Amino acid sequence: MLRSEHRAYLEEGLTFLTERERTALLLRDVEGLGADEVAEQMNCSKATVRSHIANARIKFRRYMERSRRQSGRKK
Partner 1 sequence: MKHPGEHQLALFAGGDIAGYWERWRISRHVSKCGDCQSEVRALSEASQQLRAIAPDLPADLNWNRLAEEMTGNIRVGLAAGEAIARFDRPVARRPRLGWNAALVLTCATAVFLVAFWMSLPQQQAQHLMAALQRIRVERIGALVKPAAAPQDEVVLEASSSSLDVRENDRTMSLTHPHSDVVTVSVSLHGSAGVRYVDADTGQVTTNKVYYAEP
Residues that bind partner 1 (CB under 8 A): 3, 6-7, 10-12, 14-15, 19, 22, 25-26, 28-31, 35, 46, 50-51, 53-55, 57-58, 60-61, 64-65
Position 28, amino acid: R
CB of 40 to partner 1, least distance (A): 15
Q: Are 21 and 55 in contact (CB under 8 A)?
A: yes
Which CB sits closer to partner 1, 43 or 74? 74
CB of 7 to partner 1, least distance (A): 5
Find the Cα–Cα–Cα–Cα dihedral 20, 26, 31, 34, rounded to 10°.
50
Outline where DSSP puts E strands in the chain. none
